[in-house]
């Protein structure tokens, strides 16, 4: 009789463990999906005269990026039209700049970068 009881206890414990692991796996998948959604880069753009927020993957040549103070990320290479005291954190690009880099339109104008006209 003791062997049957031991077997039943072990089977119950294994079944309970399987149910708990399935539940935890479901919660972990749900949390990862929410984190992916939060970390998906977006861009504030002006396209066809309308301001909108789009996925960074949907950026196309001709979109005007709108970057505001307070931690906006620049999701793509861009040419500045106005900078007004713009400072950027380039530590992830340069390997550890400790101070923000000042962006100035004069530097851009000096280089005379020619871009194709869109629209």
Q: Which helix or strand (DSSP H or E) is residue 51 part of?
A: strand 50-55
Cα separation values, 103 from 38, 71, 82, 90, Å: 28, 15, 10, 11
Does residue 5 carry a pLDDT above 50?
A: yes
Q: What is the DSSP letter of 114?
A: -
Does residue 100 carry a pLDDT above 50?
A: yes
Residue 113: name the closest of 76, 74, 80 by CA.
Answer: 80
**Domain spans in the chain, listed from the N-terminal domain onward:** 1-39, 79-113
What ranges in the chain are assigned the alpha helix state H?
2-39, 91-94, 105-111
Condensed to tens digits (0 to 9), the pLDDT of residues 41-99 reads 888 888 888 999 888 888 888 888 888 777 777 777 777 777 777 777 777 777 766 77
pTM metric for this prediction: 0.49
Partners of residue 116 on adjacent β-strands: none
């Amino acid at each position: 009789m003791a062997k049957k009881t031991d077997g039943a206890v072990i089977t119950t414990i294994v079944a309970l463990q399987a149910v708990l692991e399935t539940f935890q796996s479901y919660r972990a998948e749900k949390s990862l999906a929410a984190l992916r959604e939060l970390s998906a880069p977006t861009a504030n753009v002006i396209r066809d005269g309308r301001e909108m927020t789009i996925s960074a993957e949907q950026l196309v040549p001709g979109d005007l990026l709108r970057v505001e103070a307070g931690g906006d990320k620049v999701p793509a290479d861009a040419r500045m039209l106005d900078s007004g005291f713009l400072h950027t954190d380039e530590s992830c690009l340069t390997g550890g700049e400790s101070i923000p880099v000042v962006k100035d339109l004069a530097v851009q104008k000096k280089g005379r970068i020619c871009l194709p006209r869109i629209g």
